[in-house]
Amino acid sequence: MKKILFIALALLASASFGTVDAKKKKDKKQTAVVAPAELKNGSDSLSYAAGMSITNGLIPYLVQQQGVDTAYMADFVAGFKEAIAAANDARQKARMAGIDIASQITQRMLPGMEKEFTDTPDSILHDLFFRGFSDALLGDTATMKQEDAEELFRVKQQTNKAAKDEKLYGSNREAGRKFLAENKLKEGVITTPSGLQYKVLTKGEGAVPQRTDKVKVHYEGRLVDGTVFDASAKHGSEPASFRADQVIKGWTEALTMMPVGSKWQLYIPYELAYGERNMGNIKPYSALIFDVELVDIEK
């Protein structure tokens, strides 16, 4: 039994060494010996050095931005040489352009579209996406005309975004509406025709800014649940400075009613704030609360 085991081990070892030797021979066969470039004069040396110099940083770019595996650099060089050889061949030039556009679409545009339609009723299917792309360029309108496709895609973008926003932020919008509906009934709260609500905490006696005036203010901004998302104090002891018409609509409306020296509390519906935009800590459809003190108007 022991003798049989030794024989089996010997055969296994022999096979392993044979595989390694075969791989070495195969690798040696695949790696062709390339003679050094002949540099006979200054222009030769300059040209060679220039070509080599501009590759500095190229490999990290290919790996990080193009997803190239460095084990296949020989294939990259082969493709590079094919493109150079095709520079004056119209047909090959078109094929190379197709390869380049395919790379841009699959690595940048398509992932962006897929993300846009994530968590929506519809999704992007690769095969039909590429078929639509190809048919449009070949003028094939058997399935759909170009203008019909553009209109359908636009409508789908809008309806799917609305469905996605409702799913993700519908409760946020309703929380803001409920807060404002209850808040407007509180003592001292004034509601303007636009829906802006405000309460005068300190009545100022100074001038009232125009829309194009640059103002100085201290402020603190909160969500309706009380979370503070920004404050002038976070940016230093000096008041913030900006034009009255270069902020959200609710601020512009309030600032152009406030005398200098006033301090108001603003209750701003999402339509007068950041609307459907996602501003990080401020999610879409967020109603906002601000304490705003108008310090001065810059002349």
Percent of the chain with pLDDT over 70: 89
Which residues, including other chains, have CB under 8 Å from residue 1's CB and lie 6 or more apart? none
Over residues 140-152, the mean pLDDT reads 95
From 90-104, 195-209, 230-244, 273-287, the region with the lowest mean pLDDT: 90-104
- Helix and strand numbers, DSSP H then E, in the chain: 9, 7
pLDDT of 33 over the 90 cut = no
Contact 267, 183 (CB under 8 A): yes
pLDDT at 25 over 60: no
pLDDT at 24 over 60: no
Specify the pTM: 0.62
Residue 60, SS3 per DSSP: helix
From 276, 298, 296, select the one nearest 285 (Cα to Cα). 276
177 burial level (CB within 10 Å; 0-12, 13-18, 19+): middle
Q: What value does the mean pLDDT of the chain take?
A: 88
